[in-house]
């Protein structure tokens, strides 16, 4: 394990530099070794190192290690009584906090293992299919999941008698802000026109086995001169692995659409789902200053400083995100990248969940183009996420 991360801890004028000593076959298997360097001109004495090992946002081990002295400009090796995470562990950080008797000298984090989930769908039982009036339905003793063959969108998602999708709108791609799919709007010399609110379905197909089904759809996006590919792998428990990919379509004329929009999907939930738990960047952390953690939210409950109920809750850097009702029924979304954005917007009689991959440039409002030069096209984007239904024990 080599040079995973290197941080400087700033004291008043001096610095402790900390790095992880590379693991070798001769290393003691029960310890992790840090290399500390005091760059001050005087020794630092009687320091205590508080450390915590975080795996997937949870503290799995912690302790205190005394450091009697750090001589100036001379590396010191400090062993901690913990194992480095192996290949089966989740995202792991080592949190370090140096302090004297009365003064915090500094804090830092070492990334031990990055977020690298293995998103798969395991067979869980037999499934059957039906096709009636352009509604393609997947059945098992636990599920009823339907797609509209004319649009390609998921329109029904029922797990053990619980509806976890608004049948009116369902699940669909989103290339704009929540609630407004502008993927097919385009610019003209006189302003902006909306040719249609839907991508154009070109293909709907399925591949089946007794215990798994894969649905594939393909769309054209005229406003962005792109092709959109979607695939859904589904098992008898209703777990789904969803991949969305967009690529430039060289058969379409160049687009005059505004720069790269949001790239995501929207899941429309019935009302009553408002308890959120998630693993990702917390409201008080960023990718630089703090590791991700597990946090909880209730977007319909006012903040102490503001008695007005919040209409939306948006988080970035999400690894997994769960929303449930008062009985514990709901959904969990698991990302294949630690950069996913999740948000919930309360509107009409339900909730809109947006699962987005951040793009380099996200406009706030469409701006009519007066230039004859086409802007940057959407390009090639791809991400995968897993949907896991959650059902309380009373419905099992």
Point out the residues of the chain with pLDDT beneath 50: 1-13, 28-30, 177-197, 257-259, 286-288, 306-311, 348, 361-376
Distance CA 166, CA 155 (A): 8
Extract the tokens encoding 277. 């738990």
Pairing of strands 381-390, 240-248: antiparallel
- Give the pLDDT score at 159: 97
Alpha-carbon distance values, 309 to 2, 166, 341 (Å): 48, 23, 22
- Give the pLDDT score at 361: 45
**Which pTM was predicted?**
0.79
Beta carbons of 6 and 19 less than 8 angstroms apart:
yes
Q: What is the pLDDT of residues 301-360, one digit of tens each?
A: 555 554 444 445 567 888 999 999 999 999 999 999 876 777 766 554 567 888 888 765
- Give the pLDDT score at 124: 96
User: CA angle, 388 as apex, 293 and 148 as ends, to 5°?
Assistant: 135
- Give the pLDDT score at 217: 97
- Give the pLDDT score at 94: 92
Pairing of strands 58-70, 76-80: unpaired
Alpha-carbon distance values, 190 to 183, 186, 193 (Å): 19, 11, 9
- Give the pLDDT score at 233: 98
- Give the pLDDT score at 372: 45
| Average pLDDT taken over every residue of the chain | 77
- Give the pLDDT score at 120: 95
Catalogue the E-assigned strands of 29-103: 32-38, 44-55, 58-70, 76-80, 92-99
Nearest Cα to Cα of residue 236 among 270, 209, 204, 268: 209
Extract the tokens encoding 337. 């990248």
- Give the pLDDT score at 292: 85
Rg (CA), the chain: 25
Characterize 230-239 residue by residue with b for buried, 16 or more Cβ atoms within 10 angstroms of its Cβ, and e for exposed. bbbbbbbbbb
Domains and CATH numbers, the chain: 7-113 (2.60.40.10), 128-395 (2.70.98.10)
Judged by DSSP in three states, 392 sits in: coil
Question: Could you tell me how far CA 256 lies from the centroid of its own chain?
Answer: 30
């Amino acid at each position: 394990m080599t040079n995973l991360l290197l941080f400087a801890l700033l004291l008043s004028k001096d610095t402790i530099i900390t790095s992880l000593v590379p693991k070798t076959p001769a290393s003691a298997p029960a310890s992790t070794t840090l290399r500390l360097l005091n760059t001050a001109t005087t020794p630092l004495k009687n320091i205590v190192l508080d450390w915590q090992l975080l795996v997937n946002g949870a503290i799995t081990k912690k302790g205190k290690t005394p450091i009697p002295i750090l001589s100036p400009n001379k590396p010191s090796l400090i062993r901690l009584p913990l194992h480095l995470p192996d290949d089966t562990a989740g995202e792991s950080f080592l949190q370090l906090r140096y302090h004297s008797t009365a003064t915090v000298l500094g804090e830092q984090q070492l990334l031990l293992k990055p977020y690298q989930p293995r998103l798969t769908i395991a067979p869980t039982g037999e499934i059957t299919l039906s096709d009636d009036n352009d509604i393609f339905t997947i059945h098992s003793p636990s599920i009823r999941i339907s797609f509209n063959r004319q649009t390609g969108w998921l329109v029904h998602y029922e797990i053990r008698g619980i509806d976890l999708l608004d049948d009116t709108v369902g699940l669909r791609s989103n290339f704009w802000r929540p609630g407004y799919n502008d993927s097919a709007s385009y610019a003209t010399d006189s302003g902006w026109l909306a040719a249609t609110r839907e991508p154009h379905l070109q293909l709907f197909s399925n591949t089946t086995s007794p215990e798994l089904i894969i649905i594939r759809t393909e769309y054209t996006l005229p406003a962005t001169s792109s092709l959109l590919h979607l695939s859904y792998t589904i098992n008898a428990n209703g777990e789904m692995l969803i991949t969305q990919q967009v690529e430039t379509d060289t058969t379409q004329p160049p687009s005059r659409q505004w720069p790269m929009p949001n790239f995501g999907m929207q899941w429309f939930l019935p009302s009553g789902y408002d308890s959120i738990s998630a693993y990702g960047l917390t409201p008080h952390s960023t990718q630089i200053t703090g590791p991700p953690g597990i946090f909880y939210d209730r977007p319909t409950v006012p903040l102490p400083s503001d008695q007005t109920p919040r209409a939306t809750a948006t988080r970035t850097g999400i690894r997994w995100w769960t929303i449930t009702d008062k009985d514990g029924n709901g959904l969990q979304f698991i990302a294949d990248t630690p950069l996913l954005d999740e948000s919930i917007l309360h509107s009409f009689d339900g909730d809109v969940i947006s699962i987005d991959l951040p793009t380099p440039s996200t406009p706030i409002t469409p701006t009519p183009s007066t230039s004859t030069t086409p802007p940057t096209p959407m390009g090639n984007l791809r991400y995968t996420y897993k949907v896991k239904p959650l059902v309380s024990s009373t419905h099992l």
